[in-house]
Chain A
Amino acid sequence: MSAEALAALPTRANRRARLIFGIFLAALLSWLALDLSLADAIPRESGAGILSLFVEGALSPAMSYEAAEVPAGTPPLLSKVLEAVWTTLLFAVAGMSLAVVLGLFFGFLGATSWWKDDGADSPLGQGLLSRAMPVIYGVVRVWIALMRSVHELLWAILFLVAFGLNNFSAVIAIAIPYGGTLAKVFSEMLDECPRESARSLRAIGAGPLQVFLWGLLPRAFADMSAYAFYRFECAVRSSAVLGFFGYPTIGYYLRLSAENLHYREVWTYLYALIALVLIVELWSSKLRERIVIR
């Protein structure tokens, strides 16, 4: 360790200590602002009853309906659960496939490495495009921030009001914020990947688009697909929650069962969701293991 590095150690420790102190102070202030009392965090009366139902349900999830009478012709509970899992997956896949398209498009426009490279001549030449690109870039960055800073449930509400209940609105509600997040991360990955292939392509006369397609995209592709897969995990959860707004995913049935105090059914849906998320998570972590080439 060099002398400078040694001298830097105390500052680093100080900064961390200061940050952690700040974090705890903020938590204390939040506690006071929310006017919370510890007694409220403990379930009472009816709540305790529900808690015991809830714990009971966790230990013995329902395999058939809890209601004493079920209308004739109702499919068995487990097939309903499977159907809910299936729609949850469909919504997530549809939303993600649109999000990837949006993410690639805006990620491309929100990256700088294909049209600007420090220490090299401007790859766009001196034409109109070289002057327009910084403006486009700025607008796209703001647009990306807007897309992703509105939560998918809020997009869902906006579309509910604007279009009414329709499965496609749920899909776009997932696609827009996820597309924004993908665009942000994709553009960062495109800007941070090694530049040497891009530079050699440029040196032999490749245009900006060619540099992007053959010099930058292949370099960042592994990281990009690993990240997209991670977001797919989140999309499955979001898709399940969209059911709370009337879409036929897991959340819809879970809410109905909970409102009827059928907590054993609630746990059947919860376990189904957990299994789904777990499978996707295992798959994606396995993929990440294989995909890291560098």
Chain B
Amino acid sequence: MSARVEALYKSRPRSRFVQLTLWSFGLFTLLTWLSGVIQPASFLTARRLENLERFLTVDIVPAPLREGGFDLGALITWTQGVLLDHGLDALLATLAISVLAIVLAMLLSWLFAPLAAATLSTRRPFDATPGQDLFGWRALRLVTRAVMILLRSIPEYVLAFLLLAILGPNHAWPAVLALALHNSGILGRLGAETIENLDPQPLRTLTAIGAPRRSLLVSAVFPLALGRYLLYFFYRFETCVREATVLGMLGVVSLGYYIQQARGKMYYDEMLLLILLGAGIVIASDILSAVARRYLRTAS
């Protein structure tokens, strides 16, 4: 019996590459912590602990409560003050930036995905025996993919920072475009993968009866891929809301803008309230996107 177990154990699927990865990562993690760049041991000095204590017991306590103990009325008035003065406007702006950005990203990715999908962007789409492709098609796929990689490997925050210098402050375009460009790279790649993973049989039938590429795309590929694509769309929407919050720190009017301002004025109580507001909007968009995904899944 134990010999069988041993034989089974030995025949388990193994891959050199996976093992190499795990080992090198373990070693690298060790190296990181030993490198001296990060020093957790000397982190909690007496001065830092003092700083932390002041932060927790004084700085983040809402201003009207600092003297005289807890007073619910004062707390509510203070919260209302922050929210009505700029909190709610910033919340709305954050949401609007992310919605507009993700829709622009979607439109761009609808351009990228068909051009990057290996099964579609080729001389004979969905052919069972594709054979060697012409140079033009290969170049087209390669260029589209390179553009998408470029867009998605630059972080939104960096893109927004650069766009702010180019487009100037006082409007939301840098944030909207940064989020849209970055996400179009991601959605484009996911869309291309979705198209490549479609069941080729019905599509092959259509090409066999002479459907031109354009109608194949509009009336078969698009509706077949849309369901899965929308799942990705809502997943990216969540991250968009998260990022839109912090892009404000660069100077675009979203929650981050007021968080940065409160930090500058050392109103740490207000800063914490706005951060929690940001967390709230992220959780809300999480729920919204889960509801939308269920709405799609349970259609019957």
Q: Which residues of B contact A153 (CB under 8 A)?
A: 157, 246, 249, 256
Q: Is the interface of B mostly helix, strand, loop or mixed?
A: helix
Partner of B279, one of A40, A146, A281: A146
Name the residue on A nearest B44 (C-beta): A163
Q: Are A162 and B299 CB-contacts (below 8 A) given A30-B95, A94-B33, A97-B29?
A: no
By the criterion CB–CB under 8 Å, are B21 and A240 in contact?
no
Give the interface segment out of A47-55, A63-71, A125-133, A204-212.
A47-55
Contact A30 B17 (CB under 8 A): no
Question: Which range holds the interface residue count of chain A?
Answer: 35 or more
When distances are taken between beta carbons in the complex, the residues of chain B under 8 Å from A240 are 155, 158
Asked whether, in the complex, the Cβ of B153 is within 8 Å of the Cβ of A274, the reply is yes
Closest Cβ neighbor of A286 among chain B residues: B17
CB B14 to nearest CB in A, in angstroms, measures: 10
Please tell me if the beta carbons of B299 and A11 are within 8 angstroms of each other in the complex: yes
B42: shortest Cβ distance to chain A, in Å?
A: 9
In the complex, which of the residues B93, B99, B226, B243 has the most CB atoms of chain A within 10 Å of its own CB atom?
Answer: B99
Alpha-carbon separation in the docked complex, A10 to B52 (Å):
59
Q: Which stretch in A31-39, A113-121, A195-203 binds the other chain?
A: A31-39
Chain B residue numbers with a CB within 8 Å of A274 are 149-150, 153-154
Q: Tell whether, in the assembled complex, residue A43 and residue B166 are in contact, meaning their CB atoms are under 8 Å apart.
A: yes
Say yes or no for A23: interface residue by CB 8 A criterion: yes
Of A16, A146, A164, A238, the contact of B226 (CB 8 Å cutoff): A16
CA distance A272 to B278 in the complex (A): 32
Give residues of chain B (7-34) contacting chain A, Cβ–Cβ below 8 Å. Answer: 13, 15, 17-18, 21-22, 25, 28-29, 32-33
Q: Quick one: CB contact mask for A156-177 with B, threshold 8 Å, 1 for yes?
A: 0110011110111101000000
Chain A residues lying within 8 Å of B56, measured Cβ to Cβ, are 162
Q: Closest approach, in angstroms, between the C-beta of B155 and any C-beta of chain A? A: 4
In the complex, are the beta carbons of B279 and A150 less than 8 A apart?
A: yes
Contact A36–B18 (Cβ < 8 Å): no
Distance from B279 Cβ to chain A, minimum over Cβ atoms (Å): 4
Q: Does B2 contact A (CB under 8 A)?
A: no
Taking the complex as formed, is B134 at the interface, i.e. its CB lies under 8 A from any CB of chain A? no
Q: A19 near B292 (CB under 8 angstroms)?
A: yes
Task: Give the CA-CA distance A97 to B31 in the complex, in Å.
Answer: 12
- Against A, the Cβ 8 Å flags (1 = close, 0 = not) of B217-257 are 00000010011001001000000001101100100000010
- Known pairs A12-B299, A94-B32; A157 contacts B259 (CB<8 A): yes
**Of A23, A34, A258, A273, which one neighbours B172 at CB under 8 angstroms?**
A34
Q: Report if A21 contacts B (CB, 8 A).
A: no
Interface residues on B, range: 35 or more
- CA–CA, A128 to B171, complex, Å? 57
Contact B282 A16 (CB under 8 A): no
Q: Does A80 lie at the interface of the complex (its beta carbon under 8 Å from any beta carbon of B)?
A: no
Q: A163 to B51, Cβ gap below 8 A?
A: yes
Docked CA distance A24–B100 (Å): 9
B174 to chain A, nearest CB (A): 10
Quick one: which of A254-276 are within 8 Å of B by CB? 254-255, 258, 266, 270, 273-274
Chain A residues in 8 Å Cβ range of B17 = 286-287, 290
Q: How far is the CB of B51 from chain A (nearest CB, A)?
A: 6
B212 close to chain A: CB less than 8 A: no
A34 lies within 8 A of B93 (CB): yes
Q: Can you sample 20 A-B contacts with CB below 8 Å?
A: A12-B227, A14-B299, A16-B227, A24-B103, A26-B99, A33-B93, A33-B96, A36-B176, A97-B29, A97-B33, A146-B279, A163-B51, A169-B43, A237-B155, A241-B155, A254-B158, A258-B165, A273-B158, A274-B154, A287-B18
Q: Which 5 A-B pairs have the closest CB atoms?
A: A30-B96, A27-B103, A277-B153, A149-B282, A12-B299
